[in-house]
Amino acid sequence: MKHGKWLSRISLLFFLVATLLSGCGSPPPAKETAAPVNLTVSAAASLKDALTEIKDLYGKEKPNATISYNFGASGSLQQQIEQGAPADIFISAAPKQMDDLQAKNLIDTTTRKDLLENKVVLISAKDSAITGFSDLAGDKVKKLALGEPQSVPAGKYAQEVLTKLNLAEGVKEKTVLAKDVRQVLTYVETANAEAGIVYETDAKVSDKVKIVTRAPEGSHSPVLYPGAVIKDSKNAKEAGEFLKYLQGPAAKAVFEKYGFTVLSK
């Protein structure tokens, strides 16, 4: 009888030990991972290099987020958004396009922020004899490349500069209009125009052109880049997080590397 009791106790002991060991061997509960999200950012063409680099940095911090860019002239991007093209964030190269979207209640105004500032410059081929804006109306320049003023902010700023310097009429017949500021750069790089007016950041990414001079202080409106989340975004929270990232130290370093002035919060 005693022998049977001992066997029962030993069996119970083995059962308890086995239970404890099986519990210790169980894998820890899986950590919750953020759901994948795809963000579409419509941004001014002049931001292409900086934003592409920032995309890689953001991917390391937020591996669940996929950023897709739609680069182009700010006016064209504005029209696309007005016509219902999918976008989560809009970054314009001028306040006007953002103002127009805001007037139509298409952006979340609480997220709107002036992110960056840029400079307007006159560019030419590296071996050009052009020395300043005053040469544009003379024989040194047969073709002058500008962005289309109605849709390309760089073109609007260029027109302001030419008007301020009393050159607008003198260059009218030799002006070649481009769909965005990067096309202006390409025209000068490929010698399809002797000179062009672009942003300083565009000129700095090319080894085929030189900056002749900056536009005189006060000759054009400030070149500001406002950003905002689109009101109908299906990823408003994540879009807001990316917009805030663009205002942080990692993005600031990239923007400054490409020549932008980062505006304080």
Choose one of 195, 214, 233: the last residue of a domain.
Answer: 214
Cα–Cα distance for residue pair 28/147, rounded to 1 Å? 59
In-domain check, residue 23: no
Q: Please give the residue range of the domain that contains residue 202.
A: 120-214
DSSP designation for 129: -
Instruction: Give pLDDT, residue 28.
Output: 52
Q: Indicate the length of the chain as a whole number.
A: 265
The number of distinct structural domains making up the chain is 2
Instruction: Give pLDDT, residue 14.
Output: 47
| 244 lies in the same domain as 196 | no
How many beta carbons lie within 10 A of that of residue 127, not counting itself? 6
Cα–Cα distance for residue pair 240/71, rounded to 1 Å? 19
Q: What is the mean pLDDT of each run of 10 residues along the chain (265 residues)?
A: 48 46 49 78 97 97 96 97 97 98 98 98 97 97 97 97 98 97 98 98 96 97 98 96 97 97 86
| 179 lies in the same domain as 96 | no
Which residue numbers belong to the known binding site? 46, 74, 154, 181, 199
Short-list 225, 229, 228, CA closest to 263: 225
Instruction: Give pLDDT, residue 265.
Output: 62
In-domain check, residue 13: no
SS3 143: coil
Instruction: Give pLDDT, residue 35.
Output: 85
74, 228 contact by CB (below 8 A)? no
Instruction: Give pLDDT, residue 20.
Output: 46
Instruction: Give pLDDT, residue 246.
Output: 97
How many beta carbons lie within 10 A of that of residue 64, not counting itself? 11
Q: What is the DSSP string of 146-193?
A: EE-TTT-HHHHHHHHHHHHTT-HHHHGGGEEEESSHHHHHHHHHTTS-
Instruction: Give pLDDT, residue 27.
Output: 53
Which residue numbers belong to the known binding site for molybdate? 46, 74, 154, 181, 199
In-domain check, residue 56: yes
In-domain check, residue 207: yes
In-domain check, residue 73: yes
116, 50 contact by CB (below 8 A)? no
